Amino acid sequence: MNYSEKSVDKIVKDHNGDASKVILMLQDVQSEFRYIPREAVKKLSDDLDIPEARIYHIATFYKAFSLVPRGEHEIRVCLGTACHIKGGKRIAEGFERALKVKAGETTKDKKFTLETVNCLGACALAPLVQVDEENHSKMTIEKIDKVLKQYKK
């Protein structure tokens, strides 16, 4: 979704304009636009009367936030200990090869953003890959193409 001032206005109101809730507001901004647009930072800074630098500090500190637009689907390959032991790194490399991007990057067609994460808390299903909200358990190199196909439409 493109930036809209109205949406940010609503987000600020939802949290009663309370400056200590800026992280929660950024979370809402992120889920609305799938990234933190510059304009949103500027507006939050004005509305809440906190310096832009502090908001950027937060936006770069927490992994949940991205300052660049994300792909339509987010692929998170778990590299937590349980997944690491079961070959998570190789699954991540497999996705890198299949999508021709490095972890952290978005494909040219803006379809996928590939990420590695540290434990999604479903370790019994290791190695685990999450695409958007959906978990794909016990991933193998062979299953990568099948999984990607599901989201390519």
Partner 1 sequence: MRLETPNKLEELRKSILEKQDPNKQKILVCGGTGCISNGSLEVAKAFEAELKSQKLKAEVEVKITGCHGFCERGPLVVFLPQSIFYERVDLKGVPDILKETLISGVPHDKYLYRMTKKDDPITKEEDIPFYKNQLRWVLRHNGKIDPTSIDEYIAQGGYSALAKALNGLSPERIVDEIDKAGLRGRGGGGFSTARKWRSVKDADGGPDNIRYVICNGDEGDPGAFMDRSLMEGDPHSVIEGMIIGAYAIGSNKGYIYVRMEYPLAVKHLDLAIKSARDYGLLGENILGSGFSFDIEINRGGGAFVCGESSALMASIMGRAGEPRAKYVHSSEKGLNDLPTNLNNVETWANVPLIINRGADWFAAVGTEKSKGTKVFSLVGSVNNVGLVEVPMGLSLREIIYGIGGGIPGGKKFKAVQTGGPSGGCIPEAHLDAPVDFDELTKLGSMMGSGGMIVMDEKTCMVDVAKYFINFLVDESCGKCTPCREGLRQLLIVLTRITEGKGKEGDIELLKDIGDCMTWGSLCALGGSASNPVISTIKYFRDEYEAHIKEKRCPAGVCQDLITFSIIEGDCIGCGRCLKVCPSSAITGENKKPHVIDEKLCIRCRACYEVCPVDAVMIE
Q: Point out which residues bind partner 1 (CB under 8 A).
A: 19-24, 26-27, 54, 57-58, 61-65, 79-87, 90, 93-94, 97, 117-126, 133-137, 140-142
Applying CB under 6 A, does 101 fall inside the site for ligand FES? no
Q: Binder to ligand FES among 77, 128, 129, 144 (CB under 6 A)? A: 128
CB 125 to ligand FES: min, Å: 7
83 is in an annotated binding site: yes
For the segment 28-87, give every residue that binds ligand FES (CB under 6 A).
78, 80-83
- The CA–CA distances, whole Å, from 49 to 52, 70, 145 equal 9, 28, 48
Alpha-carbon gap, residue 29 to 3, rounded angstroms: 9
- The CA–CA distances, whole Å, from 114 to 53, 73, 92 equal 28, 9, 9
